[in-house]
Structure 1
Amino acid sequence: MNKAAILAVSAVIGVSIGLYFGLRTGETPSLPTQDFSEVEALRTGDMLKLQFGLDRGSDVVFTHEDGTDLALSAFEGQYVLLNFWATWCAPCRKEMPHLSELQDEFGDELEVVTVATGLNQRPAMERFFADIGVDNLPLHTDANSALARDFGVVGLPVTLILNPEGHEIARLIGDADWASDSAKEILQTLVGPS
């Protein structure tokens, strides 16, 4: 490999690491105080990728599907499954129907919040949902990826579980079957009895 290629690869790795660790907005993450051992024991299949960890939130504003400003504080008091996706993301296309099914099953106990990050045109987003038969999830956007960067998202899809205080308590990188028995058991254990 020549010197220019090595420098280019090093730069990409450096930027990725910087995005993941360095672009937090002055907030120092702390370890969660909740014990997740009971929930972690329920992980099977795709849910083995679900990692419990940093207890952090974000006050970055993104765009509601109606064009108004929105922040995660709007969901305070309930658990949120926050999914970052894009119209060009093939794994997102596979995962989104599972998120839709999850929203139907959990109703008011859990809010599935889907946010298209990066440049995603509204007509393409609508076609994406129509093609996969999803009509119950929001078409929120994060056009400049500020919310995604604040949460250290460097690839898609990424799904975070936020507690009722709006803090991330778990993260799954990549697509997953969120309609699986394991996913539903984990989420039901977190949100408690209905």
Structure 2
Amino acid sequence: MKTKGMLLLVVVLVSLALYSKLPARAGTAAKVGAQAPAFSLTGLDGQTYTSEQFRGKPLIVNFWASWCGPCKEEAPALVRLYERYKDRVELVAVNITAKDRIESVQAFASAYGLPFPVLLDERAETAQAYRIVPIPTTYLIDRNGMIADKITGAADDAALEKKITALLQR
């Protein structure tokens, strides 16, 4: 228990340090009930993904890094969630590549068998727009592009299931 607490403290402190290095940006933080910030990011597959292309279907946006312990804990639950709901919900994993290495991102995606798009936030602009602290942080966006919910920290199957059920009822 002590080790997990220390690990969480280290992740939070590192996340805060990284966040403080991000450039200031006009606008307000992404909040539940507000329009989700737009993004256009390249995926590990070389394709460009935009938030607009997902309109009409609920979208889960998970922010993570390969060195993040809680991200590793959460990855299997996200894979199971995607397999269960892939016909009704889109899911993208946004790697904060500005503070990560592409080789590590590729290794993580391969090790956990991520079946959904892995997007590269190379300048941390999308993370800044969503005001990501700490990681992992997951946004649930409804079919109209409105933020329906937010999960801070690693989510387990039960928490994800509950949030997805609510998202699908919107």
RMSD (CA atoms): 2.9
Distance 2:26 2:151 in 1: 19
Partners of 2:119 and 2:90 lie apart in 1 by 13
Structure 2: how far apart are the matches of 1:95 and 1:136?
14
Alpha-carbon deviation of 1:79?
Answer: 0.7
Q: After superposition, what is the alpha-carbon deviation per residue over 1:113-134, rounded to whole angstroms, capped at 9, x for unaligned?
A: 10101243333222113333x2
Give the whole-Å Cα distance in 2 for the aligned partners of 1:156 and 1:96. Answer: 12
Count of residues in Structure 1 that have an aligned counterpart in Structure 2: 153
Give 1:58's aligned residue. Answer: 37
Partner Cα separation in structure 1 for residue 151 and residue 166 of structure 2 = 17
Aligned to 1:121, which of 87, 101, 107? 101
- Answer yes or no: is 1:83 the counterpart of 2:85: no
Q: TM-score, normalised by structure 2?
A: 0.76
Structure 2: runs of 5+ lacking an equivalent: 1-15
Q: Which residue of 2 aligns with 1:186?
A: 163
- Percent identical among aligned pairs is 23
TM-aligned CA deviation for residue 24 of structure 1: 4.4
- Structure 1 segments of 4 or more deviating over 6 A? none
Give the unaligned 5+ runs of structure 1. 1-11, 30-51
User: Greater CA deviation, 136-145 or 99-108?
Assistant: 136-145
Query: Please, what TM-score do these two structures have when normalized by structure 1?
Result: 0.67
- 1:71 counterpart residue number: 50
Match of residue 131 from structure 1: 111
Tell me if structure 1 keeps the 8 A contact 2:63–2:94: yes
Please tell me whether the aligned partners of residues 57 and 143 of structure 2 are also in contact (alpha carbons under 8 angstroms): yes
Q: Could you say if the C-alpha distance between residues 54 and 189 of structure 1 is closer, same or farther in structure 2, counting changes exceeding 3 Å? A: closer
| Equivalent residues in 2 for 1:95-114, closer than 5 Å | 95-114=74-93
